[in-house]
A and B are shown apart, each in its own frame.
Chain A
Amino acid sequence: MQDTINQLIYTSLADLAEDFDIPGLENPDPETRLYGQKSVLDSMALVALVADLEGRVREAFGKDVILADERAMSRRLTPFARVGTLADYIEERLKEES
């Protein structure tokens, strides 16, 4: 599952990098920083990433997850910090939906 989720994120980031002309997302890996200090995404790009990923997760797993909810926002460490933390968060939410 984690591999599939990582691939979804990579694909989404590739589209995002093109749409928003964002450098530094050419070869993402789990350590790639997304949002927060030294991040590559601004808030508009994060909104676009979340929306795009929710759609891709639905297509891949047939489940509706809402990634930007109060649980994500209230965590001390945002799940949107890095590719790896985001993938973990998506996996967690998918398991809850099972």
Chain B
Amino acid sequence: MANSMLITGTSKGLGKAMADHYLAQGWQVAGCSRSDATIEHPDYQHYSLDVADEKAVTAMVREVHAAHGLDALINNAGIAAMNHLLLSSAGVARQIMETNVIGPFLFIREAAKLMQRSGGGRIVNFTTVAVPLDLEGEALYSASKAALESLTRVAARELGPMDILVNSIGPCPIPTDLTRQVPKEKLEALIDRQALKRAGTVEDVFPVVDFLISPKSAFITGQTLYLGGVFH
């Protein structure tokens, strides 16, 4: 049976690029987004759901596991709202936390329940360089991803005995829908704070995910790896 992975947020951007990448490598891929599928491939199965919907997430993870097993979970889905703290609403704050924290938590919980029964697995969470850079205008986004990084570390401890390894990747800005709403000069200022001064590409991200879900990273868990030369 081919290796099986679940990627959240596969309708566009990095999530779609990762789904295409792993389908091309022969993986069985299940993806989800609020919208309909944008990928057509015999080894791809799409679920239209809200990642914070506990019932829908539970059903999806269990269905995927029953059909193909589950070797890797990629928590990629995320939303951002660039705005000054004083102009941010509680509604937007809740929405960001639901999608960026509750969603990954639900997927980790349900995936780990099944991975432990089948001898282990890999979980990769997507965070952002906005956390170590403490970016102005991204307070809620950054706070939600900081929570996800903490979740990564605690999950690594709790799931380590089950041979489930949990790590995070923090890409620097990659031209996707998520960064399209950021003004050009803001993006340039952000890139200027990186040690490697250019925008990221999906090709920069693939090798890191490849490594974190491969047997070669069997002794690595609870880590957050930022791209582009960004560090605390």
Contact = CB atoms under 8 A, between A and B. Distances in A.
Q: Do A and B come from one complex?
A: yes
Interface of A: 44, 47-48, 50-52, 54-55, 58-59, 64, 66
Contacts of A52: 117
A51 B111 CA distance: 10
B20 interface: no
Given A64-B55, A66-B54, A48 B62 contact: no
Contacts of A48: 116-117
Nearest to A51: B113
Task: Give the dominant DSSP class at B's interface.
Answer: helix
Given A64-B58, A66-B54, A55 B114 contact: yes
A47 B155 CA distance: 14
A64 B59 contact: yes
Interface in B113-151: 113-114, 116-117
B133 to A, nearest CB: 36
A51 B54 contact: no
Interface of B: 54-55, 58-59, 62, 66, 112-114, 116-117, 161
Nearest to A48: B116
Contacts of A47: 116
Given A44-B161, A64-B55, A66-B54, A58 B117 contact: no
Interface SS of chain A: helix
A66 B59 CA distance: 10
B78 to A, nearest CB: 24
A55 B117 contact: yes
B117 A66 contact: no
B168 to A, nearest CB: 23
A64 B112 CA distance: 16
26 contacts: A44-B161, A47-B116, A48-B116, A48-B117, A50-B113, A51-B112, A51-B113, A51-B114, A51-B116, A51-B117, A52-B117, A54-B62, A54-B113, A55-B62, A55-B113, A55-B114, A55-B117, A58-B62, A58-B66, A59-B66, A64-B55, A64-B58, A64-B59, A64-B62, A66-B54, A66-B58
A80 B54 CA distance: 22
Contacts of B113: 50-51, 54-55
A54 B161 CA distance: 20
A51 B113 CA distance: 5
Given A50-B113, A52-B117, A55-B117, 4 more contacts: A48-B116, A51-B112, A51-B117, A64-B62
